[in-house]
Amino acid sequence: MTHDSPSPDTAKFPATIPANQVEQPFFIVGPGRSGTTLLTSTLNRHSRLCVTPETHFLHYRRRHFGTAAAPPDFESFWQDYTRWPRFKDLDIPVRRCRDRILASGDTSFANIFSIILAVFAEKQGKPRVGEKTPGHTRYLDTLDQWFGSPKVLFTIRDPRASGASQLKTGYRQPELDGRPALQRIVMLARDAAEWVDIYARRWADAAERMDMRMVRYETLVAAPQDEMQAICMFLGEPYESGLVARSRCAPSPASTSGVQEGKTSWTERHLRKSRSAVTTASVDKWRGELSRLEVGLIEAIAGPTMRAHGYRPEANAALRQLGRAILASARLLLKADDAAKRVRQRLLNG
């Protein structure tokens, strides 16, 4: 028996789009704060397209089952997975998905994921579904194998801007305690290194064999109509003028996961902003949010990859070198802090 679904199986669907008639899905990936949510909200306005909240499906599979092709016990997996907040965010009927999976005779992770996406599209009443999980950049080969060369929209944003934006997120703010200035340095360095790994390796490796299009955040907000026309052409869909208009009805990603993780207020602000009119207001905000030293650190790590993708480093060599030195010191001090905390905890515990 399955537990109660987050969305009743008797719920009325907006239109009859049988799951087996849903067209091949597409995927939206990219670093955090690089425009994936903005792109999702925009595409959700299309009459033929819907995009899921972040499923993190491939993260879930990797964490619990490694690289297994299928769960060893489907019913046990299904009970656990459908209790996960990321699944509940989809707001689709548990039983409808389960019955379709079992009726297909295929309980592989590839087929489970495909049917989940198809049922989401069915509920939205649209024939084409996209899936957005930024961190699925780590699993591009898997998506390629499972979905037969799907179309992938790969967002990119200036790492100085995305790094500054990451510092303000609900999931990063709790980490800025104790020594916030040092924590900022370490976080910015970590994000810059991840940015380099994504665009110097993951993008470069996959772009040679997959059907991918890079979506530049700065272009999307500066010339949204032109960019969305190009994106629709890439997806093989007609462009619709309402895509870049202000909308109050774009589906909301991630509500229950935000509640569970205690980030509701930030999540709500983030989603409201993604539904607002597209502007260039955030393009250069990093200049007032990062110190010159922080900018130098990011550019010291990401400089060559930035240049390769059209972003111009601005800090001089001395600042970049100083940024690296400060990073090394910050890591040592934070490591010492952690060690001291462990000692104090042991003393308190007797």
Tokens 């997959």 identify what position?
210
Query: What is the predicted pLDDT for the residue at 4?
Result: 43
Please, is 145 exposed, middle or buried when counting C-beta atoms within 10 Å of its C-beta (0-12, 13-18, 19+)? exposed
pLDDT band per the 50, 70, 90 thresholds, residue 5: very low
Query: What is the predicted pLDDT for the residue at 93?
Result: 95
Could you please state the CATH topology (level 3) that the domain comprising 19-346 is classified under.
Rossmann fold (3.40.50)
Q: How far apart are CA 133 and CA 37, in angstroms?
A: 9
* pLDDT above 90: percentage of residues in the chain: 65
Query: What is the predicted pLDDT for the residue at 10?
Result: 39
CA distances from 303 to 160, 193, 312, 319 (A): 11, 11, 8, 13
The residue among 187 and 57 whose pLDDT is bigger is: 57
Question: Over the stretch 308-350, which tens digit does the pLDDT of each residue have?
Answer: 999 999 999 999 899 888 888 888 877 877 776 677 677 777 6
Q: Is 154 left (phi over 0), alpha (psi -120 to 50) or beta?
A: beta
Query: What is the predicted pLDDT for the residue at 47?
Result: 96
What b/e string do you get for 167-183 counting C-beta neighbours within 10 Å, with b at 16 or more?
A: beebebeeeeeeeeebb
Question: Over the stretch 134-144, which tens digit does the pLDDT of each residue have?
Answer: 999 999 999 99
Query: What is the predicted pLDDT for the residue at 260?
Result: 43
Query: What is the predicted pLDDT for the residue at 341?
Result: 67
Which tokens is 161 given?
Answer: 């801007």
Q: Is the pLDDT of residue 174 over 80?
A: no
The residue among 163 and 12 whose pLDDT is bigger is: 163
Query: What is the predicted pLDDT for the residue at 262?
Result: 47
- Calculate mean pLDDT across residues 217-227: 96
pLDDT band per the 50, 70, 90 thresholds, residue 1: very low
Lowest mean pLDDT among 103-117, 193-207, 266-280: 266-280
Q: Is the pLDDT of residue 78 over 90?
A: yes
Question: Over the stretch 261-314, which tens digit does the pLDDT of each residue have?
Answer: 444 554 565 555 555 666 788 899 999 999 999 999 999 999 999 999 999 999
Which residues, other chains included, contact 125 with Cβ-Cβ below 8 Å and sequence gap of 6+? 13, 14, 15, 17
Query: What is the predicted pLDDT for the residue at 238?
Result: 97
What b/e string do you get for 227-243 counting C-beta neighbours within 10 Å, with b at 16 or more?
A: bbbebbebbebeebeeb
Which residues, other chains included, contact 226 with Cβ-Cβ below 8 Å and sequence gap of 6+? 219
Lowest mean pLDDT among 114-128, 197-211, 265-279: 265-279
Query: What is the predicted pLDDT for the residue at 16?
Result: 44
Question: Over the stretch 235-261, which tens digit does the pLDDT of each residue have?
Answer: 999 999 989 875 444 444 444 454 344
Question: Over the stretch 40-66, which tens digit does the pLDDT of each residue have?
Answer: 999 999 999 999 999 999 999 999 999
How many other C-beta atoms can be found within 10 angstroms of the C-beta atom of residue 157?
Answer: 26
The residue among 97 and 257 whose pLDDT is bigger is: 97
Query: What is the predicted pLDDT for the residue at 278?
Result: 67
Q: Is the pLDDT of residue 7 over 50?
A: no
- Report whether 309 contacts 303 (CB < 8 A): no
**For all residues of the chain together, what is the average pLDDT?**
86
Query: What is the predicted pLDDT for the residue at 21?
Result: 56
- Report whether 24 contacts 127 (CB < 8 A): no
